[in-house]
Chain A
Amino acid sequence: MTQKIIRLSKLDKFYGEFQALSQINLDIQTGEFFSLLGPSGCGKTTLLRAIAGFETLSSGSLHIDGVSMDGVPANKRPTNMVFQSYAIFPHMSVAENIAYGLKARKLPKAEIKASVAEAINMVGLEGFDDRASHALSGGQRQRVALARALVLKPRVLLLDEPLSALDKKLREQMQSELRRLQRAVGITFVLVTHDQEEALTMSDRIAVMFDGKIEQVASPQILYGKPSNRKVAAFIGMMNFLDAKVLTTSGDNVEVEVQSLGKLTLPLAQATGGLNGCNSVGVRPEMLTILMGSQTSEREIEAEVTEVYYYGDMTYYDVKLPAKEDPITVTMRNTAGREVLEVGAKARVGWSTSSLLLLK
């Protein structure tokens, strides 16, 4: 039985009339890398700041390590935060920044010095001790912010969009470094991000949020493979949607009438969010194939290519199905011998019933 480091129950947050968080119930396990994912304004940062102690709850409860945080100010909580702007103190050197929290705890000088040196090593900033913090690059500021928080050995490290200010290459490098760091220190990380790719590659579990509510909490694989509704499916990666109507259920199967694809029988398990209110079928672009020559598939359908996006390793096709107005997307790996179709070409699109999800 894994332990729960953070327990949120029935948490509400109002700003005047506006409800920023509504009925949040969430458990975060000790030692996991947990992400709060959602579009901007969905309340994910508010939730993180509530855990840190910068926002007071309108109602509900928040426990960290089994202790209620009701009335506990941010400076007394076992959490530390890496801010989006990093919030490096500009008038202090790298070492002074990292020592800041240790000095607040009034630890002996020698101990502070040793801890700071260790933290500087941990984030790979050796030799930068006396560097003025305003003379650092974005990536280095990020490392200082991490070291400054981790040196205090918090129970939970909160990260507010820590990679959004970095360029693409550095961001990818910091992603793997954050992951490595989290494994090394074993501290629970809670990351806020609007970047689904970032969340998928780094997290053990992800909570997807929309409009102040948590829609689904799951591992990256389940979130991508079995999203519980259309909103989540559309936010995580690409997903094609076809209108669908549930006809009858019999045992573990459900019979549905799907736009363009006709009458189908699907296992009940493919209705990932339950059968209630299901009105569409979703299928990932990579689950579809453009069939060439004598290639066959479990099922196939005639379509017309309306747009081609060539990416080198991949080609993205927009294809129009009969009886569906908007085109759907098919992605193909450009393996040896595979030709790239042109706009207007007829294509046979191969698919299988097992890759369809019944969604509401």
Chain B
Amino acid sequence: MRGKIGFFRWFIGLFLLFLYGPAILLPVFAFNTSSIVSFPLSGFTTEWFSVLLTNGTLHVAARNSLLIAITTAIFSTLLAVLAARASTRFSFFGRRSIMGFVMLPMVLPEIIIGVSLLVVIIQMGFELSLWSITMGHILICTPFCIAILSSAFMNLDKSLEEASFDLGQTRWNTFWLVIFPLVMPGIIASLLIAFTISLDEFIIAFFLAGTEPTLPVYIWGQLRFPAKLPGLMALGTVLLLVSIGLLLIADFFRRRGIRKTGIENTGGFL
């Protein structure tokens, strides 16, 4: 019995180390004076972070990524709200197969989506731009958003809508006064998932980037120059902190939503 528990402790310990160890190394080397990423550490510096502040190409890439991620999050969530609502509340011919096809991009290899989108966009005579990347990202993010929002809409008691209608409210107002506030935690989760997926998506962004790289594409390009490595470490550290911060903010809103509505806590990110 004891031996078994000991084994599981080791297993969990190793698992967590494997998961988070590499990420913890990022800030360690970001503050190291040597431009060679190896132990022993040679000294403390914030030089690599100040390099980030003056790097114009990096700023453009970061701005592109943010623009794409925000647009993707909004549009995927919007589409997913409509799809989730339709699939959970109404039954119509071919609902299951339609939902199946909508969810397919979740398991489709991104490289296939990337290549096919590239071919189609070029063939149709469009220029590659931030819009083409955004379209690709909406395609792959929407299924995730639908998955999250479907469960949010499914948990909604149907009689709440009927009660609102019965009390004399219109269907349109019922959506905004009753349904929307109650699925709000799901919408926030959906926005966040789409934002993070889009932000670090590489393959589609790489194929459809044209002349405007996103942050992952920029980082990939910089990896060819060993001297740039510590700077990337610093960039990675910043991204890590931003991600954690975003998660905390999202979870705060999720918990607040749950407290306000008394819906059962079905587990979140933290």
Q: Give the B-binding residues of A (Cβ under 8 A).
A: 52-54, 73-76, 79-81, 83-85, 87, 89-91, 100-101, 104-105, 132-135, 148-149, 152
Chain A residues, CB < 8 A from B260: 91, 132
- Whether, in the assembled complex, B182 has its beta carbon less than 8 Å from a beta carbon of chain A, the answer is yes
| Cβ distance B265 to chain A, nearest Cβ, rounded Å | 12
Is B168 touching A104 in the complex (CB atoms < 8 A)? Answer: yes
The digit string for B245-269, where 1 denotes a CB below 8 A from any CB of A, is: 0000000000000001111000000
Report the stretch among B58-66, B145-153, B158-166 that lies at the interface: B158-166
Is A74 touching B261 in the complex (CB atoms < 8 A)? Answer: no
- Contacting A at CB under 8 A, from B126-170, are 157, 159-160, 162-170
Is A100 touching B167 in the complex (CB atoms < 8 A)? Answer: yes
Contacts A/B (CB < 8 Å), 25 sampled: A52-B166, A53-B166, A54-B166, A75-B167, A75-B169, A80-B166, A80-B167, A81-B162, A81-B166, A83-B162, A85-B157, A87-B160, A87-B162, A89-B178, A90-B182, A90-B261, A91-B260, A101-B167, A101-B169, A104-B167, A133-B262, A149-B166, A149-B167, A152-B167, A152-B168
Q: State which of A74, A85, A89, A149 has its C-beta within 8 Å of the C-beta of B165.
A: A74
Cα separation A318 to B166 with both chains bound (whole Å): 49
Q: State which of B157, B164, B178, B261 has its C-beta within 8 Å of the C-beta of A134.
A: B261
| Cβ distance A271 to chain B, nearest Cβ, rounded Å | 44
Cα separation A36 to B87 with both chains bound (whole Å): 33
Is A104 touching B261 in the complex (CB atoms < 8 A)? Answer: no
Cα separation A100 to B167 with both chains bound (whole Å): 7
Size of B's binding interface in residues, CB under 8 A: 21
Q: Which residue of B lies closest to A90 (CB)?
A: B261
Cα separation A101 to B159 with both chains bound (whole Å): 15
- Whether, in the assembled complex, B222 has its beta carbon less than 8 Å from a beta carbon of chain A, the answer is no
Is A91 touching B163 in the complex (CB atoms < 8 A)? Answer: no
Given known A89-B178, A91-B181, contact A132–B262 (CB-CB < 8 A): yes
- Whether, in the assembled complex, B243 has its beta carbon less than 8 Å from a beta carbon of chain A, the answer is no
Is B169 touching A87 in the complex (CB atoms < 8 A)? Answer: no
Q: State which of B157, B169, B181 has its C-beta within 8 Å of the C-beta of A104.
A: B169
Is B263 touching A100 in the complex (CB atoms < 8 A)? Answer: no
- Whether, in the assembled complex, B45 has its beta carbon less than 8 Å from a beta carbon of chain A, the answer is no
Cα separation A85 to B166 with both chains bound (whole Å): 14
Cα separation A152 to B250 with both chains bound (whole Å): 39
| Cβ distance B250 to chain A, nearest Cβ, rounded Å | 19
| Cβ distance B168 to chain A, nearest Cβ, rounded Å | 4
Chain A residues, CB < 8 A from B164: 89, 100
- Whether, in the assembled complex, B173 has its beta carbon less than 8 Å from a beta carbon of chain A, the answer is yes
Q: State which of B166, B167, B262 has its C-beta within 8 Å of the C-beta of A90.
A: B262
Is B181 touching A87 in the complex (CB atoms < 8 A)? Answer: no
Q: Which residue of A lies closest to B178 (CB)?
A: A89
Cα separation A133 to B178 with both chains bound (whole Å): 14
Cα separation A87 to B165 with both chains bound (whole Å): 12
Q: Which residue of B lies closest to A54 (CB)?
A: B162
Q: Which residue of B lies closest to A83 (CB)?
A: B159
Q: Which residue of A lies closest to B169 (CB)?
A: A104
Q: Which residue of A lies closest to B157 (CB)?
A: A85
Is A91 touching B261 in the complex (CB atoms < 8 A)? Answer: yes
Is B169 touching A74 in the complex (CB atoms < 8 A)? Answer: no
Cα separation A134 to B260 with both chains bound (whole Å): 9
Is B166 touching A91 in the complex (CB atoms < 8 A)? Answer: no
Is A83 touching B163 in the complex (CB atoms < 8 A)? Answer: yes
Is A135 touching B166 in the complex (CB atoms < 8 A)? Answer: no
| Cβ distance B20 to chain A, nearest Cβ, rounded Å | 37
Given known A90-B261, A104-B173, A132-B262, contact A75–B159 (CB-CB < 8 A): no
Cα separation A80 to B167 with both chains bound (whole Å): 7
Closest 4 CB pairs of A and B: A134-B262, A101-B167, A87-B163, A87-B159
Chain B residues, CB < 8 A from A134: 261-262
